Amino acid sequence: MSDSSATKRPANGFHKEDDQETKKARLAQIVQDQQLLASQSIPTPHTPKVIQTVRLPDALRKKILITGGAGFVGSHLTDRLMSEGHEVVVLDNFFTGRKANVEHWLHHPNFSLIRHDVIQPILLEVDQIYHLACPASPPHYQYNPVKTIKTSTMGTINMLGLAKRVKARILLASTSEIYGDPEVHPQPETYWGNVNTLGPRSCYDEGKRVAETMMYAYKNQNDVSIRIARIFNTFGPRMHPNDGRVVSNFIIQSLQNKNITIYGDGSQTRSFQYVDDLVNGLTKLMNGNYDSPVNLGNPDEYSIKDFATKIKEFTQSESEIKFLPKVADDPTQRKPDISTAKRELDWAPCVHVEDGLRKTIEYFRGEVEAAGEIVPTGPDAAKPKGGS
């Protein structure tokens, strides 16, 4: 037996010859380490910032389920709820979600991660459900349109059934896409939309419209407590590098000095909100008293061409802007009317788009450096690339 083997410490941390004082000191250190692990996140390459958690009394601590919780928005929502001291159960099938987005919580006693697809039922005991599960970028949700429809319909039915059984409140992450290519601008919640039911985006648009219908059916028939958030374009760290949306594509292309590709003439408009603002809106909606649909977005409107130019300037890129044929059913304009959110939730975006872009650019700079090269996803249907 080698010297190193002879002195190797047992799994329990104690040698037989350790005196009582040594054992007590080591036991105290173990307890101290566990208390530390239960009070914060662990820094990881993906999330280096330490997030502190508070200790809530049992009467105030909720057990909260987040479907799609390892995705872009879901992981930021996880951070918020964990920091507030709640127990969080993340449910994800990792089609677009990434384990790296939540690995900084894996050690924490208040956190659980379950690999599961929402189109299959699951039995859990929870107080609240944030139902975020569904691919949200056009290339990803068009990759398997039948599965996208199943996620919005069967997945929502399963979550509503769970909410009904355990008497939990459920929030549906709906989308501005239910307005289609709008003929009303900006879009209020009362607008019924202009959607092509047979187009390439309809699997997502119509799926979310049906999901909203099911939410209200369960509310009216079974007295389920519901909330509906219609989410407009959102950006920030942890966006999937290959999600094919304009923010991630423009930044990745600019950082690599590749052509910035715009589909169409660039005159189409979008409104972009930073992810922290969205999380604020979601938690206010969940814990408020308003149960009609609410737009959550930033009313600051940009043309796609102007937005590409801004990102090029911020990254000091040598990229050129190239215009390619327009994508089918791509909306010509998108801007939320957030008067309902202001009135009912006392919510409005606080992070300026330029400040959010700087943070997002730094995140993607790290992603590009780690990967060596990232090839952005085009407008066609595509399976998410990269590991979890």
Q: Which residues are catalytic?
A: 204
CA dihedral 238, 241, 244, 246 (to 10 degrees): 60
* Greatest Cα pair distance in the chain: 80
- Alpha carbon 34 to its chain centroid, in Å, reads 29
Strand 260-263 versus strand 234-235 pairing type: unpaired
